[in-house]
Structure 1
């Protein structure tokens, strides 16, 4: 099978994507796959560079990669790809929309305000509804690029302007003080939950995520009640946002209650990344994790293809689709 590792892209997370792609290429089993690295440097690159591959292993992050755009293009070319589909990718990339959906389904998430540019700037609304401190984030961004904590009203405008360098809209999010955790999901099943503690900054920022020794990330012991709440929040988020194959759900724990920060449909796969660490804690090697992602993705793409046929649908498949992506994987 000719596996094209699609990396790079045009977002602010290009360098992280290249790191993810290179790490994937190192760990793919060359006895099973013919591996081709594909660096996307402009939107027009994709069609010409993916010709001849049998499967696209997506190492992209951010816009034009994690937002459903590339997924839609690959579907139009009939090339199966890894991870969630077009709809889920778009939903999870949009923090405001995904938080709205999670809240509507009863999943706890920090309160927030959404501003579509500086025209919506209203420091008084932040003070009255959220209080300080808050986090200011690009609405469609990742890897903490452009994200800043703000301790008081004095620093708010500067942080918003910084976030708007990376997107046209921003989310102002309530600060939840507590234990940061991350929940990796593979094939509809929760992998060991990791607790996160930054070593070099007050929060889990870009340096903490990607520099060696930037943070401590270890399997965390939870009480039975807390573990049940965390599991429910993670799997409910995965279901509500239509995720498939794998995802990572980031949360803050406060007084035993998990607050979902965001859901990543193409989480990082560098040496320092959380998903491979969680998989390793479950006894799954990096290469084994990639094998499983490829296997599940092929199953997902085939199931979707069969579902969208104009005729010949099986009742069994229809029932699986109604029950969600976990049923598709047979778990």
Structure 2
């Protein structure tokens, strides 16, 4: 009998449309011989199933079920591809744990921790993980521009602490650009992280749980046409994403070992994609995404294919690992 799989997409953040695209790719490539997929849109107003004719049916949040054609539909697992809140910050993970339905992302604590860039970096520092110098701000704090620049230097990056797809991120080259960048970041979040500029090759490393083991996927080199790997570079073709990355064998091993170490320190499972910059010859951790973009052209699917894992195989493994972990 086919397993009923809810594909969760949408969310409450600026990444809503990107998540819908990712969810539709999951729907397209899911093995229909094994699974009966249901596209579930998560919005602030309601959660609802969308059929192939764009007809909507609300989800019963009490037990995450549907009532279709006179029958109640229960789910064997939820494929969580919601970028941003509530799918990547632990809220949906905690909900599904409470009602006893397996979901494909990491657990709720790991999701909350990695979604909070400041907390994630603070957790990793005692393990000797190299990162940029940083300065934290909360909305309402007095902004001491000279103190910030003395700590992180120029140029620097101003980022919304809890946002993805490079929303609320600015590269600041002069002290005059700092306050406008802070204002922009506050439009996405009430917490900010300001980081020193790391100069060097940027790479993205996927680590997943595959057939019961932690697997580091082939590395992707990021070459942005813009100042940094921003929204345009990620989604509008303003970058080259080269898989496998043009790194020496020594550097490949360095960043692969670091990515695997971080995945295991944080007790991750499911998908992850972390960004690193080779600064002064050493890979520095930037951030981790636990529900990374999943279009056919996105980095993690590219890496899986380079590893010889087709998208249907990757999706099947992800669902079965989630179900196995829940038993």
Q: Whose helix proportion is higher, 1 or 2?
A: 1
Does residue 33 (structure 1) correspond to residue 35 (structure 2)? The answer is yes
Does residue 198 (structure 1) correspond to residue 210 (structure 2)? The answer is no
TM-score normalised by L of structure 1: 0.87
Q: Distance in 2 between matches of 1:286 and 1:92?
A: 25
2:192 counterpart residue number: 170
TM-score normalised by L of structure 2: 0.88
Change in 2 beyond 3 A, CA 1:109/1:4: same
2:60 counterpart residue number: 48
Cα displacement (A) at 1:43: 6.7
Cα displacement (A) at 1:29: 1.1
Match of 2:179 among 145, 148, 157: 157
Does residue 79 (structure 1) correspond to residue 81 (structure 2)? The answer is no
Larger mean Cα displacement after TM superposition, 20-29 or 41-50: 41-50
1:181 counterpart residue number: 203
Match of 2:240 among 199, 210, 216: 216
Does residue 275 (structure 1) correspond to residue 300 (structure 2)? The answer is yes
Cα displacement (A) at 1:256: 2.2
Indicate conservation of the 8 Å contact 2:155/2:197, yes or no.
yes
Q: Could you report, residue by residue, the CA deviation over 1:43-99 in whole angstroms, capped at 9, with x for unpaired residues?
A: 763862631121100110112110000110111111100020011001100100100
Q: Distance in 1 between matches of 2:122 and 2:92?
A: 24
Does residue 227 (structure 1) correspond to residue 249 (structure 2)? The answer is no
Question: Could you say what secondary structure the match of 2:20 adopts?
Answer: helix
Aligned length: 300
Alpha carbon RMSD of aligned pairs, Å?
A: 1.5
Q: Whose strand proportion is higher, 1 or 2?
A: 2
1:139 counterpart residue number: 161
Match of 2:232 among 171, 184, 207: 207
Question: Could you say what secondary structure the match of 1:243 adopts?
Answer: coil
Question: Could you say what secondary structure the match of 1:42 adopts?
Answer: coil
Q: Distance in 2 between matches of 1:44 and 1:193?
A: 38
Give unmatched runs, 5+ long, in structure 1. 303-331
Question: Could you say what secondary structure the match of 1:293 adopts?
Answer: helix
Q: Distance in 1 between matches of 2:140 and 2:302?
A: 39
Cα displacement (A) at 1:264: 0.9
2:265 counterpart residue number: 240
1:260 counterpart residue number: 285
Indicate conservation of the 8 Å contact 2:273/2:289, yes or no.
yes
Indicate conservation of the 8 Å contact 2:90/2:111, yes or no.
yes
